[in-house]
Structure formats: C-alpha cells, structure tokens
Structure 1
C-alpha cells in the first residue's frame, strides 16, 4: 500500500504543495517576462530606429580599391553613426581608401577618396586632389595622410654649377612655390604605383593652385616642403 493510501492527509498536503510550487513557478516566469519586456521597451526608447551603415569587413590598407568583399552592412543606433557614413556598399565600390581602416569601422567620406575629401582636408570649398610624383624616396617614406606641405618646383641645376650660371644668364626662374598649405591625402605604397621617377602622393589644394601644379608636373619635377 502506498504512502498516499496509508496517509490521506499527507497526500492532500503534498498535492497542495505541488500546486503552490506550480503557481510560484508561473508567477516567477511571468515576472521575468515582464522585466524583459520592460528592458526591450527602454532600449527601444533610447534607440527608436537603427540605421544601416557600411563598415569594413576586415582591416583595409590605404590605396586599395574597395571590393564587395571589403564591406558589410551593420545596423547601428542613430547616435553611434558618424557623420558622412554611407548606408550602401554599392556607393563605395571602386573607391580608393584614403587611410588605414580597422575592421568594423564605418566608411565615411573622410576615409575614401571622393570629391568631398579635398574639401574636408583643406576646408576650402573648391579644393581639388592632384597627383604629384615624388622622386625622393626618403621624402615619400616620411609623408603621412594629413601632413601639411608646400609644393615647389625642383631646380634643374646645382647651386654654384655651370648650369646655374647659364640659368642666371638666360633668365630661368629659381625654385617656385606653386601651392602653400596643401594637405597630403594619400601616398602610394612602396612597390605600388612606383616607377623609375618615384612614388605618387595625392595632395589636396585650392582649385587654382591645383591647376598650376597639374600643368607643371607634366614638364618639370616637383617636391614638397613639410610644415
């Protein structure tokens, strides 16, 4: 004979205890659900709508052209979206990375070479980006994006040489400053975009100076003075 049959009072007490345990468990579960709902509601109030943002799928190197495998879309709260961020990877495909970008970092208009980048770098509305070939390898190694430089012509003769004397007699101009307070946007990596004449630096400057530099660089070597 079982315990319930032998002790009816114990059986009734055990049944009531089991019922109260079930009720307590249900009430605890309901309270947890209410707490979770309140947490989600509070979060929704803090971040009412997340925004799609194109971010780097892995670390990106300066000078690389963006591919679809370089970008992913991540949804962020509005207060965490940086100014100038793009919501579409398709808009960034083929753009050149202007500086090192870490995995998960949003690709803003300050991180890729666009018409707006020159304006952001110089604070000049009509600024342009001009490629300048740097024959001096040591100078190219020292340059970093954001450096402020002057662009000058390179004399074709050594001081005190016969060429200098001829230059004075013929009225050739001395070194000339073509652009002041220009900003380095990108320097090509060693072994890439480098020929016998040196590496290339992309430099942002006002439109008028950019036109002059672009024309002179076709016929005469140029160099940079660091500020």
Structure 2
C-alpha cells in the first residue's frame, strides 16, 4: 500500500494532466455532437456596385445552416470570376442566378428578346434605377439653329436587367442594360449616334391610373 501511495504522489502531476486532457476531449466531443450541420455558401467578400465584373477576391465562402441556402445559389467558386453583378450587392450577400448577369437573364423570355446597352450621359439617372424596373429611353436632340431641344421616346417600358457606372471617371457615361427585341436594339443604337440618351423610370401599366 505504501508503495502505491509513493507511486501516486510521485506521478500525481502527470495523472492530473491526463485527467484534464480527457475532460477537455470529452467536452469537445459533446460540442461537436450537438453542433448543427452546416454547408458552404458563396457570398460577396465586399460591397459590390451594380455591373461589377467579379474577381476571385470578390468571393468568399461562409458556413451556414443548409436551410438558409437560397434557391439558385452558386455552388462553384470557379464559375464566378468574370461574371457581372446584375445589381448592387452588400458584403455577405449570397451569389445566386438572380444576382448575376449572364445567359440566364434571357431564360424563359419570348423568342427574339435581346439585351441592349444604353449609354446615358447623366449617372444620376442610372442611380435611380434598379434591376427589374421598367424604363423609357428618350433621345434628346438640339435644334440646329440652337432654338431648343427635342425629346423623342425611342424605347418604351423596357425592363432593366443591369446598371453600370464607371466609378473611376465621374464624367463618363453610365450604362443601362435593358430587354428589347432586335428592332428595338437597332433603334436604340441608331439614336445614340445623333442624340443624348436619357432614361426615365416608369410604372407598370395601370399603376397610378384612375
């Protein structure tokens, strides 16, 4: 008995360390057992302006509850670099098919639908638009005798699918991408040669009418 006591006292520190380690291991195992399942979700690593072309460092992955993954979430980070953001995104917002501008924007659209790019001189007009808004495109020309300006609607009730502003040059034209048909796209392109284009947000038919 005395020998066992001597062995115990001689190794009590070692035994105490082993017991502490076993307790920590047991606690960690219990926490892991109780932790809810999680899955990876690709989100914006920083605030992104509308129309941004994604780089690899614009994307990060977070762990979330599988039930929190939105429909259409992008699952492969390799497919994101080079894609364009269809609207402004906040840091931490998930990348989904609805937030990216690509071939999918024409899915389910009538045959002949195209995406036309409208260059707008006043960036403030673009800032007032959001993806999904309807907009009229107005071509403004000045009379040759300088008597005044004349505006003509060259695109009516066009759906906005993306907006882009050149943040590096505040004087550069802003860009709006809209859905139209081939004839409408040709009319917009022709108007841009001789006129200053303006965009005006419009309400869907019937809204605001008595």
TM range (shorter): 0.5 to 0.7
Matching residue of 1:225: 200
Of residues 118, 122, 134 in structure 2, which corresponds to 1:132?
118
- Highest Rg: 1 or 2? 1
TM-score normalised by L of structure 1: 0.60
Out of 32-41 and 212-221, give the one that drifted further.
32-41
Matching residue of 1:201: 176
Of residues 20, 26, 29 in structure 2, which corresponds to 1:37?
29
Structure 1 residue 69, shift from structure 2 partner = 3.1
Does the 8 A contact of 2:160 with 2:176 survive in 1? Answer: no
The alignment status of 1:61 with 2:49, answered yes or no, reads: yes
The alignment status of 1:83 with 2:83, answered yes or no, reads: no
Structure 1 residue 176, shift from structure 2 partner = 4.3
TM-score normalised by L of structure 2: 0.64
- Separation in 1, partners of 2:72, 2:100: 11
Structure 1 residue 215, shift from structure 2 partner = 0.8
Does the 8 A contact of 2:116 with 2:177 survive in 1? Answer: yes
Does the 8 A contact of 2:140 with 2:198 survive in 1? Answer: no
Structure 1 residues 84-123: aligned runs within 5 Å: 84-117=72-105
Number of residue pairs the alignment of both structures matches: 192
Structure 1 residue 31, shift from structure 2 partner = 5.0
Specify whether residues 41 and 118 from structure 1 end up closer, same or farther in structure 2 by C-alpha distance, changes over 3 A only. same
**Structure 2: gaps spanning 5 or more residues:** 203-210
Structure having the larger proportion of residues in helix: 1
- Separation in 2, partners of 1:22, 1:191: 65
**Structure 1: gaps spanning 5 or more residues:** 1-10, 165-173
